[in-house]
Amino acid sequence: CRPGPVAIHLHRAEAACTSVMGPLHVLSAAMCVSQAFTPSTIRVCTGKSCRKDGGGGVAKRFSQIAEATASDCAIEECGCLGACGKGPNVMVAHQRREKEKLYCDVFKPATAAAIFEIEFDTEVPEGLVRTQAAAMKAERLLTQDKLAEASDMYASALAETHASVSLRSECEKGLQAVRERLARIGAHQS
């Protein structure tokens, strides 16, 4: 396995998960869902705790990485993986390994990319990771009503050449939301 440049971020998240909960690499697939894994599957917990910690966004980031790297792994959302409070949590399984592997605290795009690189021996473009981070920041700025900054951040993300189609669409929708809020503000002021 030859992980790409973002793989170093993974080790911090994995160490945090292991040190607090003990080794979590060998959890039963039954803890996630009773369905069998496909040969390459990433399951992202969207249970109550992980959803609050951003589990839905993590699933979206993994899907964007799979799309951008033309990987054929399945990205699925699932219920609790058994490490509540340490999430968002991700379970990875594929044919070359007998047991599933659990990763905790998978929030940052760099962590998701590192997991992908290590597990699937695929280099994730750094530009994609930067674009995902910019889109996350823009979304946060939009929720804080910092519209000019959100607009700039979405525009920056759209200018990146490594963005997947779904990531570009996400950024375009975010930019449209900024424009609509600005228009509403302008209408109220006149």
Residue 188, H or E segment: helix 165-189
Query: Residue 102 and residue 92: Cα distance in Å, rounded?
Result: 6
Report, as an integer, the average pLDDT of 148-168.
Answer: 87
Give the pLDDT confidence score for residue 72 in this predicted structure.
Answer: 83
Query: Residue 63 and residue 99: Cα distance in Å, rounded?
Result: 22
The tens digit of pLDDT for each residue in 81-103 reads: 988 888 899 999 887 777 889 99
Residue 105 scores a pLDDT above 90? yes
123-to-86, 101, 116, 120, 129 alpha-carbon distances in Å: 26, 20, 8, 9, 11
Q: Which residues neighbour 149 within 8 Å (Cβ) at sequence distance 6 or greater?
A: 141
Report, as an integer, the average pLDDT of 109-118.
Answer: 94
Instruction: Record the pTM.
Output: 0.75
The tens digit of pLDDT for each residue in 2-55 reads: 333 333 334 334 433 433 333 333 333 333 333 444 568 999 999 999 888 888
Residues of the chain above pLDDT 90, percent: 49
